[in-house]
Structure 1
């Protein structure tokens, strides 16, 4: 066996070929080639159909795959694979991203892909292509319509094995309707979407009047129509963009101020600017609120769903003007964004910046060329068919001779030549006759052929008329655009405004002014505030109005404390309370809020009055059921919403809490035994909050305090008492009432027993209700209706007069001094 030997390589075999080139020239050439590829093959749309190459290839491939709207969806990965394998060699991610965008209704004004599955949201990415499905939308069929009728040119694909269209026939101005976004090398495009109906109307006007001006066209297209709706503020930038191809405009969310809860207003956001998602807005608002750069927002909820659409609820704190807060949201958050129009598109293979008229003109010219080529193609096809039909008719008229010629011929070639010679047929006609089955050569087929010939001749005449007349050609294009507009048109979504509807200036403050006001608490448990701190007259009609338990001077942005029978004071924001109309005299609390809407009470806990939280304000005077009195030093904790104002003994409760505006006013106790004790407030030393108070009135066994308050001895005041039986069911007794002059009762010392205020009649052994305060006295029922009281003044220790209705509370006239006594309510044993 021969042994094979190898010769080792020499240095000459490894010698490299080095070519000297200029680096700057190579860089310039390479960069220009790269830039050219990006501009023409990826980033910029064609001005005729408004599609980038990848979008055009997706639509064409799906059309070739038969993914029409009447067919089922297929996996998106199958579409991506077909596009990448045949036409687009730039990777599956780029193809799928383009497919997703064409399926998103918030990205495209008229989506071209009908997607099935998770195609994302303005805040979230879509699912992977293996999870989603797609097919062509109905609008996409209008884009590819007539593509097989020689309407557009085709070119080889990247490997020369397939062909692809250089442009789509595009039955509607897709570039203006759906807009475009792309970043190339050294240039970019950012085109806003528009309303199909408006764009088609402008295009038809331009077809009818080729010399139409920009102002003429803007009568049809006043501005963009964004997929997400919203509001466009300021139209000057839009006109600049339509004239020169570049301009800016501001987009705002669509908002409304509504009552979101019984006590608060809110801003409801139903539409956002283009390309802004709700999560982005929510995150930004929360950041600003946390950083204290945005005030007035108490809560933010995203209640969006598939059925109602976008629904952001921004709850506004009481005391803040919602319109002013909305203006701050526009200024600080993505609820207002700027859109910069840059209409750069490819025209005849060159990037150009186009205005509105140029964009429409390019499309109109393209559509005229498409319809012209389509008409020429259809006429050519019909002429070819007419030529064959005429040959068949000749054969039918001479059927016997034709059969004889064919039978006497040696082969098909000789038969074709003899038919051409005998009947003066063309080669195509003769070949078609030979290929036609004998069953087609009947008398009935002759009638069909005559009808087909007539139809073909008419269609050829119509197509010839279109091709020979520019006016008819334009009319066909215009009519087809009108049909597309009727089929796919939708109402405008975006509102156009010349300027902002809200102007932020000194006259529109962010917060409600901290004006003086009066806070009112009624016997039926309603809280409200007045519009100012003017005196309450106390005279006038009190129909449909309950009496006031407490009246406190405050300001709109101030605070008051609600005092309960368990000795707690609960902080309440005055601005949260409803405002009573200034015309009410005295004010009607029918529009007030139940106190339970503002404070949380324990089981069995009730509100007995309200007081100011101002450390420099009047102190609070308290009286309890066991006869304890306390003046509270107004040193309340600023960092707590509720706190104790008196240390109560077991079984004791607070029966009255009133502001003490002057130390020469009287502290007054009225007991269930019909005893009244009054003494100057100076006799009681103020104490801190934890203190339990001191003895206020001496009680006999079983007696309790049913009313405690403050009375100005310098004013004309009255004492009202109502007696009844302690064995009767609560709320069932009408009782006997007595009104006496407060001046008849002498002042006594603190912790004494006082003097008799009413003499009990037969069947009466307890006071059901008592009150002392400025005249005149008034009584109301449990529903706040007035109840007549005896008019005459009884003796100090006299008996009462039987009433006509049950009394729930008693009150008197209210002046400007504040600190008036609380209204009388039933004794604890009778409640």
Structure 2
């Protein structure tokens, strides 16, 4: 190619083409690494401190900056997306809106951070366009952003260096563990399961006060994930592996029960699905299975889900097929049983790391310590600055005439400022503040206010200095704030944890996975057992489970109530509202026979066989046989009653066993004979026992009679009975603590005493003291009486050691290692 001639203005060498040879492999490697770095650090992976990806953090920060608090009106989602895109996140609006939608979906997050108004999608359908939906911050988002104006985190420039944004949010909520995370980066991915806020905070508080706590210590508080959709987790080994190494897997199952969908046909009713599984996907897989002959015995599958009753997926079973066997096929071939792989990858100090449970908690706890320390330093500086101005103002008010004279005789403001500093020995800020003083501040009342403010500032400064100077006080403050967050935003656990696949909690389902259910079950004698965590099951034989053996410690849960029955009989479930609900024993899963005590993890949750009213709970079991002993009930207001077993309506599924007064509820129910001793324990640690013969049996409509005389403000916390021939073997277990503490967070103290050391008294008397309170204890939290030995468990069924038997009646308890949920 011919070269153009040079011009007089430019030298010839500047007009020659310059071609630089670049190795394609080197260029692709460098460009790909830059792309991978951007995806990993700026898009796909959450920060371990606040559990948020950059786009999520920017959404919450921008909504906070816009003032979209939960008590403010909703605004169009498109407006929020536009503000985030224009100021902080220069990427596509679709990506921003998708992230905001996920923050608002209660089936995606255990604790939603955005309050969405409109169609924000479902597990089977996407959301409406942002111009049709509205949003504002959810209450929990306030805890994530509170303190941003107090220099608690570092701010970094936005994409064009015109604005700043927080590097991380203060995050008073352990968001990464509570809401989980999912993301695919380059060469790595993250997939974290949601957890229960109350459990995670309890573990974090333990770690704050005990920095050397081991993983085993923390597992007492966090037994497993708590999924937004509920359901069941089958097998906890994978969960424990993930807590140790950051990687693991577990299987989730739908919550199902077998009902009569028509007078002559049974069906399987699904009320909770595995995490991220929608009903349309399940129905589609069922149709494919029926067409391919993998599934048999199914006549129809109908989705009856609505906003009033929630999820309800009904699978009708053909006549002649056993529903339990069909259900096992559904678990095998449909998403009614799904797997979840845990891969806890998050950014720590800007580096992606795979973290176990303890490491995740340590990162969040250290972040909260830094946030509270920086907040305290900021507040201390502000209060010192304000105190300095208040002291100068008080000087001026005490000699206000001279101050006015100095100002009036000055030529200008600079001269007045200098003369004020010279005459009254003031600093520059104090003199400037006095010059800007309004005349109405010179009143006598204003001086009193200033003196009060000065005193308050001095006290607050001393408190802040003490917090910054003492690490233990700082940790105590962080722990208290964690407890406040758990009390404000915490909710009960939704997901049931089952130790193994054999521990199915489906009504009547076979214990072994894939086993064929028998067509007919013999009407053999058995026992129906109620566990401390609310699981119902029946034994395989008429023998009660063995107790007192060493193997019992390794088993799941405790037996809180038991009643004899037969496999085809019915029993009654006694509730706190004084109702007896009829339950078919055949609907309860049978526990496999073992050499020792069977594992109660194979039971079915009460909610799957009993429909309870709001704030109603189960307090005992009752036999409906005509020759059964009478049923004794006690209420929190001290009333006792005996009901004859033959007084059972034959055509009703539920009926009242006692007429309750306003505000009263049943605290316990046991089967007794005339020779048995009835035992009541009150919240002020009084124990009263008297013969059951002192309470005559009454009809269902009666309200009972006085059982124990209660002091003002006290209530009955436990009720039981001791057979006449078992007095020597019976023990009394009492657990004391602070009545104002958050339930399930304080271990308290326990005492185990022989029943024989408590003298009997007449009915309607006050009883004798059974537990002496320690410091910070003012109430009896739990009580139990029964045959030794007694066992205690936590909320997840984990064993908790009780102290040895103490022969002294009126003594204090021994501190427990963890909160007790049930005794049996």
TM-score range, shorter chain: 0.5 to 0.7
Aligned to 2:367: 366
- What aligned pairs does 1:770-809 form with structure 2 within 5 A after superposition? none
Distance (Å, rounded) in 1 between the aligned partners of 2:494 and 2:18: 66
Aligned to 1:432: 433
Distance (Å, rounded) in 1 between the aligned partners of 2:136 and 2:518: 53
Distance (Å, rounded) in 2 between the aligned partners of 1:430 and 1:507: 85
Distance (Å, rounded) in 2 between the aligned partners of 1:243 and 1:14: 66
Aligned to 2:481: 480
Distance (Å, rounded) in 2 between the aligned partners of 1:505 and 1:398: 90
What's the offset of the Cα at 1:20? Answer: 2.5
- What aligned pairs does 1:33-72 form with structure 2 within 5 A after superposition? 33-72=34-73
What's the offset of the Cα at 1:24? Answer: 2.6
Distance (Å, rounded) in 1 between the aligned partners of 2:335 and 2:514: 25
Q: 1:427 to 1:116 in 2, by over 3 A?
A: same
Aligned to 1:131: 132
Aligned to 2:585: none
1:509 has 2:551 as partner: no
What's the offset of the Cα at 1:498? Answer: 0.6
What's the offset of the Cα at 1:291? Answer: 1.9
Distance (Å, rounded) in 1 between the aligned partners of 2:281 and 2:9: 67
- Is this contact kept in 2: 1:110–1:139, CA < 8 A? yes
Aligned to 2:220: 219
- What aligned pairs does 1:196-275 form with structure 2 within 5 A after superposition? 196-275=197-276
Aligned to 2:329: 328
Distance (Å, rounded) in 2 between the aligned partners of 1:128 and 1:16: 51
Distance (Å, rounded) in 1 between the aligned partners of 2:458 and 2:465: 10
Distance (Å, rounded) in 1 between the aligned partners of 2:393 and 2:338: 70
What are the Cα deviations for residues 674-718 of structure 1, in whole angstroms up to 9, with x where unaligned?
xxxxxxxxxxxxxxxxxxxxxxxxxxxxxxxxxxxxxxxxxxxxx
What are the Cα deviations for residues 556-582 of structure 1, in whole angstroms up to 9, with x where unaligned?
xxxxxxxxxxxxxxxxxxxxxxxxxxx
Distance (Å, rounded) in 2 between the aligned partners of 1:58 and 1:144: 11
What are the Cα deviations for residues 496-539 of structure 1, in whole angstroms up to 9, with x where unaligned?
001122557699536849xxxxxxxxxxxxxxxxxxxxxxxxxx
Distance (Å, rounded) in 2 between the aligned partners of 1:497 and 1:504: 12
1:376 has 2:377 as partner: yes
- Is this contact kept in 1: 2:510–2:517, CA < 8 A? no
Aligned to 1:117: 118
Distance (Å, rounded) in 2 between the aligned partners of 1:233 and 1:15: 73
1:411 has 2:412 as partner: yes
Q: 1:507 to 1:391 in 2, by over 3 A?
A: closer
- Is this contact kept in 2: 1:324–1:504, CA < 8 A? no
Distance (Å, rounded) in 2 between the aligned partners of 1:345 and 1:221: 20
Distance (Å, rounded) in 1 between the aligned partners of 2:387 and 2:381: 10
Aligned to 2:468: 467
- Is this contact kept in 2: 1:38–1:184, CA < 8 A? yes
Q: 1:411 to 1:120 in 2, by over 3 A?
A: same
Distance (Å, rounded) in 1 between the aligned partners of 2:398 and 2:88: 52
1:458 has 2:459 as partner: yes
- What aligned pairs does 1:758-769 form with structure 2 within 5 A after superposition? none
Q: 1:126 to 1:14 in 2, by over 3 A?
A: farther
Q: 1:252 to 1:506 in 2, by over 3 A?
A: closer
Q: Specify the SS of the correspondent of 2:340.
A: strand
Q: 1:505 to 1:224 in 2, by over 3 A?
A: closer
Larger radius of gyration: 1
Q: Which runs of 5+ in 2 are unaligned?
A: 1-6, 521-824
Distance (Å, rounded) in 2 between the aligned partners of 1:507 and 1:417: 92
The TM-score normalised by the length of structure 2 is 0.60
- Is this contact kept in 1: 2:124–2:279, CA < 8 A? yes
Distance (Å, rounded) in 2 between the aligned partners of 1:306 and 1:358: 39
What are the Cα deviations for residues 181-218 of structure 1, in whole angstroms up to 9, with x where unaligned?
00000000000000001011110011111111111111
Aligned to 2:20: 19
Q: Which runs of 5+ in 1 are unaligned?
A: 1-6, 514-831
Q: Which consecutive aligned stretches of 4+ in structure 1 deviate over 3 angstroms post-superposition?
A: 7-16, 502-508, 510-513
Q: Specify the SS of the correspondent of 1:29.
A: helix
What's the offset of the Cα at 1:437? Answer: 1.2
- What aligned pairs does 1:95-106 form with structure 2 within 5 A after superposition? 95-106=96-107
Aligned to 1:345: 346
What is the RMSD computed on CA atoms of the aligned residues?
Answer: 2.1
Count residues with an aligned counterpart: 510
Aligned to 1:644: none
Distance (Å, rounded) in 1 between the aligned partners of 2:15 and 2:55: 45
Aligned to 2:312: 311
- What aligned pairs does 1:406-805 form with structure 2 within 5 A after superposition? 406-500=407-501, 501=504, 503=510, 508-509=515-516, 512=519
- Is this contact kept in 2: 1:44–1:52, CA < 8 A? yes
Q: Specify the SS of the correspondent of 1:232.
A: strand
Aligned to 1:91: 92
What are the Cα deviations for residues 295-354 of structure 1, in whole angstroms up to 9, with x where unaligned?
011111111000111000111112212111111101100111110000000000000000
Q: Specify the SS of the correspondent of 1:148.
A: helix
